[in-house]
Amino acid sequence: MVSKCCVLGCRNTSQKAQLHTFPKDEKIWSMWIKNIGREDLKNKTIDHLRRSYRICNIHFDDNQKYIGSRYKSTIKQDAVPTLFLPIIKNGLRSKLRLLAYSGTESVAKLTPKAKKFYRIAKDLRKTAKRLDFKCLNLKKELRRVEKVMESGDFLAQSINKATYDFIKCQLRCQKFQPKGRRYSLDEKILFLSFLKQSPKGYKLFRKIFAAPSRKTLTNLLQNIPFATGINETIMASLKNSTKGMSVKEKYCSILFDEISIDPGLQYNKKEGAIYGFEDYGDYEYNRPIIADKALVFMARGIFKKWKQPIAYYISESGMKGHLLCLKIKEVIRACRNSDLLPITIICDQYSANKKAIKLLYEENCKQPHQFGFLIDGVEVIPLYDPPHLLKGIRNNFFNKSVKFKWRKNIEVATWAHINQLYDLEDKDYDYKLCPKLTESHVKNLKKMKVSIAAQTLSNTVAAAMKKLASSQLNCLPAEAESTAEFILFMDKVFDSVNGAGTFNKNGKRLRMAVTKKSEHYTFWTEAIQVFESIKFEERGKQTVPPSVLNWIHTLRGMRYLWELFQKKNIKYFCPNFLNQDPLENFFGRIRSHGARYINPNATAFIHSFKSLIIMDFTSVHSPGFNCKDDNLNALDSLKHFINCEPISKNEPIKIPDIQFSEFTPNNQIDILQKGCLRYIAGFVAKKILRKFKSCGCCMTDLLGDGSNAEDFFINAKSYSIKSLMAPNSKYGELFEKIIFILQQIVPKVCHYKNLKKILFGIMYNECKSFTFICEKHQILKHILNYVISFHLLIYAKNITKILQGKLKVKSGCNDPIKNYAQKKFYSHKKYVNTLKIINNCLPLKII
């Protein structure tokens, strides 16, 4: 049975349209073949045509149809197909000539009116030809679109995975109410990246799109078991990630640096602990010292682009050298257990870092042929971050002159020549010899910006200075040539440790990977000799700053590394993989989460730390970051840890022996404090009774009639009769006892990790003598749980307010934590600057 239309280009079947058989009349079926352009059918017999070919209903005009007895559209006997026919290139249309209809072969013989119609006909013919071509292209495009639409994954092939998942999420969730929507893990992580980028923008985002609430996303971070110190579960996961890596790809460097955090305490309800104290990860309790630094360890591949945060620690004023030495060994051993091969450590010139490296050298008697120190018999080479070293040289050069040996001559370089070069150029002229040189460079206004130091000690500045100091121009003193040579030397040194790729950039031969044919090894040997001759002089006194000594150490380390790599048949390595840029970028992304959060508190730092890891460092690289974007991905994003249950050590909680005063109902409490406590007790009772609405015994155990004189504040604040709950005498006495004891013991144990469990154990032993009518709901445990959490939350907030200067501690306060917080605020830089302004030591800015 024939099921398709035989017209060229028509795709209709018997299921889509009615098909018609060829007529028996030879004259009519010949016209059918001619109109549809099927010249190949002329040699077919009529019987074959009627048996094997059909034309669908859409090719016939409505005037050629009539309705049959069965309500089907039937064509007339003389009907001919005229609609939606293919373009006949060599058929009737191409053979027709317009002049043939006029009976003449020359346009000149036409009448004026005929000429006008002839021009119109020619234009219409051109238009028809153009439209035919356009129609053909549209048909092709339509067929392509239909083919794409028929495939189920056409959208996934057109856009990236994140956009595709987002669109699928919206199509699935928009039809449900907000509380009825469910999101996958990848979708939650995507929305978490939006929230961390801009919390305010996420509010608007939720009004337009279907997205989870902020609480849902923040609770997501609580499921990641990434506490301070080295996490064994995470290191085991990293071991699985390194299985497919070659030995060369496993070589890595360990980076560590500190970020400032805002001192303050925050109560974590889920963990039942207060964050913000010093935390080194491997102790049952932290020191009761409020932290203001966070130390992060990160592993970075040397031959493959990857990075992975390993551990973090919270400390006050930075981790001390002896403790840092222990942590470095712990991190290196943990990386080796995960099949990584840490061969270097990289840090800045902070005094604790240098002390830790010194201790590591002293613990291991270095062999003559070795440069680094040994950890478990394996050599590790310590290096200093080159950008920090460059800043150190620039900052010393700003105030002091430099004496150095260059080409067997003693040269002297001074910062004054840079000032003179800057003053030579017209500030109003648009084009300059040193276009990047600004007042911030010359006045050294931004001492911590690497870009400012690199642009000042650059080849451009050195070339301009050297030429202007030559005898031909004589625009600068002749001594400026020595300064130009020193600047050019520092530019080459920085290029030699900042190269990547096997081809030099902008003709700089040192700014490329280290190979056998490159000039790095020879230059580093010469540069070490120059650094050994450098002396900084100020007021006749010569000194050698640590930056110079650390440059010598780092260049020797680079040279030693290349010797080791050659022994292992490694043909090249990129020096720019031996710096702290990934860690600086990580800190920059933490500060850019949500807002310009320069000093996040401990809780915000931990949440941002976890967010960046599970989002694979998805965040904006700001132009203000103090380093280049490293374009590295995490070795393990740790997404699978979100659904994992944290490893719980079923060890009994050790309750410390703490002395506190005994509570008696006759304790002298101020009437205002008593009214406040009874108001809070009523609030707690209201929260507890929401869980047991239908229990009359619980209401009898907790609530009174409000007639007590101590309920004056509850009665005064109540909008209507009994809108606020008042505690009864028994429950009020219990609440006062709980608060009385908590105020004594919380300052002594607030730094413990299992704080809430410890407090619950102490308070339950002290309050179990209180009995209640309701034996079903264990009212005492609910009261203790809620009051302890509420008290810790308020306590942490008040300590933070003291640290910020919003609260002041009265003299004679018995709380050591509050006294410590007050002392820390008075010694804080912001407070000192405020006092200077008040005392007119600093000029006030008048607007």
R_g over Cα of the chain? 41
Ordered DSSP codes for 747-772: HHHTTBTTHHHHHHHHHHHHHTT---
Tell me, what DSSP letter sits at residue 728? -
pLDDT of residue 841: 46
Percent of all residues in the chain with a pLDDT value above 90, rounded to a whole number: 34
pLDDT of 576 strictly over 80:
yes
pLDDT of 843 strictly over 50:
no
Residue 523 in tokens: 């230059």
pLDDT of 450 strictly over 50:
yes
What is the DSSP pairing of strand 73-75 with strand 293-301? unpaired
CA angle 232, 236, 239 (to 5 degrees): 140
Tokens 């060994």 sit on residue: 329
Tokens 């496993």 sit on residue: 250
The dihedral formed by the CA atoms of 30, 33, 37 and 42, expressed in degrees to the nearest 10: -80
pLDDT of 286 strictly over 80:
no
The average pLDDT across 161-183 equals 89
pLDDT of residue 847: 27
Please give the Cα distance from 489 to 496 (Å, whole number): 11
pLDDT of 647 strictly over 60:
no
Instruction: Report how far apart the first and last C-alpha atoms of the chain are (Å, whole number).
Output: 93
> Amino acid identity of 832?
V
In tens, the pLDDT along 26-48 reads 888 888 888 888 888 888 888 88
Give the HSE-up count for residue 566: Cα atoms under 13 Å, Cβ half-sphere: 11
Give the torsion sign (CA, 350, 355, 358, 359): negative
Residue 527 in tokens: 């540069």
In tens, the pLDDT along 350-368 reads 999 999 999 999 987 666 6
Q: Are the C-beta atoms of residues 613 and 633 closer than 8 Å to each other?
A: no
pLDDT of 629 strictly over 60:
no
501 pLDDT band, cuts 50/70/90, is confident
pLDDT of residue 91: 41
In tens, the pLDDT along 768-799 reads 888 887 878 888 898 999 999 999 999 999 99
Please give the Cα distance from 542 to 547 (Å, whole number): 15
The average pLDDT across 516-541 equals 92
Please give the Cα distance from 93 to 86 (Å, whole number): 11
Nearest C-alpha neighbor of 577 from the set 386, 409, 395: 386
H/E element, 542 = strand 541-543
Please give the Cα distance from 471 to 474 (Å, whole number): 5
Please give the Cα distance from 38 to 47 (Å, whole number): 17
Please give the Cα distance from 483 to 490 (Å, whole number): 11
- Give the residue with greater pLDDT, 837 vs 474: 474
Strands of 680-810, DSSP E:
none
Q: Are the C-beta atoms of residues 9 and 85 closer than 8 Å to each other?
A: no
Please give the Cα distance from 484 to 486 (Å, whole number): 5
* Residue-averaged pLDDT of the chain: 84
Q: Are the C-beta atoms of residues 486 and 456 closer than 8 Å to each other?
A: no
pLDDT of residue 620: 42
Please give the Cα distance from 576 to 627 (Å, whole number): 12
- Other C-beta atoms lying within 10 Å of the C-beta of residue 720: 6
Please give the Cα distance from 359 to 350 (Å, whole number): 15
Nearest C-alpha neighbor of 228 from the set 288, 296, 293: 296
- Other C-beta atoms lying within 10 Å of the C-beta of residue 31: 17
Highest-confidence range of 91-95, 115-119, 297-301, by mean pLDDT? 297-301
The average pLDDT across 456-466 equals 91
597 pLDDT band, cuts 50/70/90, is low
Phi, psi (degrees; rounded to nearest 5) at 792: -65, -35
In tens, the pLDDT along 715-758 reads 888 777 667 888 888 888 899 899 999 999 999 999 888 899 99
pLDDT of residue 626: 54
Q: Are the C-beta atoms of residues 548 and 537 closer than 8 Å to each other?
A: no
Ordered DSSP codes for 394-441: HHHHHHSEEEEEETTEEEEE-THHHHHHHHHS-TT-S--SSTT--HHH
pTM: 0.76
pLDDT of 421 strictly over 60:
yes
The dihedral formed by the CA atoms of 743, 748, 753 and 755, expressed in degrees to the nearest 10: -30
Cα-to-chain-centroid distance, residue 306: 15
pLDDT of 642 strictly over 80:
no
> Amino acid identity of 609?
F
pLDDT of 90 strictly over 50:
no
pLDDT of residue 95: 38
Please give the Cα distance from 426 to 446 (Å, whole number): 23
What is the DSSP pairing of strand 251-260 with strand 293-301? antiparallel
H/E element, 56 = strand 54-56
SS (H, E, C) 598-667: CCCEHHHHHHHHHHHHHCCCCCCCCCCCCCCCCCCEECCCCHHHCCCCCCCCCCCCCCCCCCCCCCCCCC
Least confident of 49-63, 84-98, 137-151: 84-98
Q: Which burial class, exposed, middle or buried, applies to 475 when counting CB atoms under 10 A from its CB (0-12, 13-18, 19+)?
A: middle
